[in-house]
């Protein structure tokens, strides 16, 4: 679990590549939802356990961050019904914000 939080971007990258691969195969009986659910549970656990200080992105390559597509994960949250969904929303917002700062030369925060 310790390493998971340190390289969360790698897990999002793997997730994205698996989704792309399954799309190419037109595989409708995939188990990517299980991976996604576990990824989200780990995110919530790390975020809650660290009081929001973790996880953080390590990737500094703008193209890789675009491929990961963190904003797409936020778009999946259409309703916040419980505290876990709220934490998931917060952690995804945090990671998306970090990604938006990388490669944005005009950011006022740099």
Q: What pLDDT sits at residue 7?
A: 86
Q: What pLDDT sits at residue 29?
A: 67
Question: Could you tell me if residue 82 is inside a domain?
Answer: yes
Question: Could you tell me if residue 20 is inside a domain?
Answer: yes
Site of tokens 């934490």: 87
One pLDDT digit (tens) per residue for the chain, 110 residues? 466 667 899 999 999 999 888 888 887 666 788 899 999 999 999 999 999 999 999 988 889 998 899 999 999 999 999 999 999 999 999 999 999 888 665 554 44
Q: What pLDDT sits at residue 110?
A: 44
Question: Could you tell me if residue 9 is inside a domain?
Answer: yes
| Residue 16 burial by Cβ neighbours in a 10 Å radius (0-12, 13-18, 19+) | middle
- When divided into structural domains, the chain yields a total of 1
pTM of the model: 0.84
What is the length of the chain? Answer: 110
**Within a 13 Å sphere around the CA of 94, how many CA atoms are in the beta-carbon half?**
20
Question: Could you tell me if residue 61 is inside a domain?
Answer: yes
Q: From CA 110, how far away is CA 102, in angstroms rounded?
A: 9
Q: From CA 71, how far away is CA 11, in angstroms rounded?
A: 15
Closest to 98 measured CA to CA, from 2, 9, 4, 1: 9
Question: Could you tell me if residue 110 is inside a domain?
Answer: no
Domain interval for residue 14:
2-101
């Amino acid at each position: 679990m310790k390493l998971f939080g340190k390289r969360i971007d790698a897990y999002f990258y793997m997730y994205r590549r698996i989704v792309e691969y399954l799309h190419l195969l037109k595989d409708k009986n995939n188990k990517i939802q299980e991976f996604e659910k576990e990824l989200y549970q780990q995110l919530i656990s790390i975020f809650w356990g660290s009081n929001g200080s973790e996880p953080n992105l390590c990737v500094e390559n703008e193209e890789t961050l675009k491929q990961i597509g963190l904003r797409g994960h936020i778009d999946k949250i259409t309703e916040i019904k419980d505290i876990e969904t709220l934490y998931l929303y917060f952690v995804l917002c945090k990671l998306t914000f970090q990604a938006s700062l990388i490669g944005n030369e005009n950011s006022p925060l740099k």
